[in-house]
A and B are shown apart, each in its own frame.
Chain A
Amino acid sequence: MIAKRTIPLLMASAVGFLLILTYFIPQTEQWGADAMEMFIILAAAAMVLGAGNLVMMNLAKVSRRSEGWGYAAITLIAFVVVLVIGLLKIGAHGTAVSPANAWPSNPVQEGSPFWWIYQYGLVPLTATMFAMLAFYIASAAFRAFRAKNVEASLLLGTAFIVLLGQVYAGYWLTDFLPADPGDTAWSQFLNGLRLENLTQMIMDVPQKAGNRAITIGIALGIVSTSLKVLLGVDRSYLGSAD
Chain B
Amino acid sequence: MLNYLRNLDRRIVFLLMGLAVALPILFKLSFPEPVPEGSQPYHVFDQIDNLPDGSRVLISFDFDPGSQGELLPMAMGFTRHCAQKHHKMYFMCLWPLGEPFVEDAMNIVIGQEYPDLIYGEDFMSFGYKPGAEAVIKNCIVDMKTLFITDSRKTDLNKIPMTANIKSAKAMDLIINISAGDPGTKQWVQYAATPAGIPLVAGCTGVQAPLLYPYIPNPLKGLLPAIKGAAGYEQVLIAAYPEMGAADIVDSKYSSKAALQRMGPQFVAHLLMVSFILLGNFIYFYDKKGGA
Contacts and interface: CB of A to CB of B under 8 A. Distances in A.
Touch between chains A and B, by CB atoms below 8 Å = yes
Interface of A: 30, 32-34, 36-37, 40, 44, 95-98, 104-106, 108, 110, 115, 118-119, 122-124, 126-127, 129-131, 134-135, 137-139, 141-143, 145-148, 156, 159-160, 163-164, 166-169, 171, 196-197, 200, 203-204, 207-208, 211-212, 215
Given A130-B66, A168-B32, A33 B138 contact: yes
Contacts of A207: 209, 212
Interface string B124-145: 0001001111100110010000
Interface of B: 8, 10, 13-14, 16-18, 21, 31-34, 36, 39, 64-69, 97, 99-100, 103, 107, 127, 130-134, 137-138, 141, 151-154, 208-210, 212-213, 227, 262, 265-266, 268-273, 275-276, 278-280, 283-284
Given A119-B100, A139-B13, A160 B276 contact: yes
Contacts of B275: 138, 141-142
The DSSP consensus for interface residues of chain A is helix
Given A118-B100, A168-B31, A32 B13 contact: no
B88 to A, nearest CB: 21
A139 B10 contact: yes
B152 A106 contact: yes
B41 to A, nearest CB: 12
Nearest to B228: A166
A108 B13 CA distance: 38
B215 to A, nearest CB: 9
24 contacts: A33-B133, A98-B153, A126-B64, A126-B97, A138-B14, A138-B268, A138-B275, A139-B10, A139-B14, A142-B276, A145-B276, A146-B280, A147-B283, A147-B284, A160-B273, A166-B227, A166-B269, A167-B270, A203-B212, A208-B213, A211-B209, A211-B210, A211-B213, A215-B210
Given A118-B100, A141-B272, 5 more contacts: A95-B152, A127-B66, A141-B275, A160-B273, A203-B209
A32 B269 CA distance: 45
Contacts of B14: 135, 138-139
Contact of A141 (B133, B153, B208, B279): B279
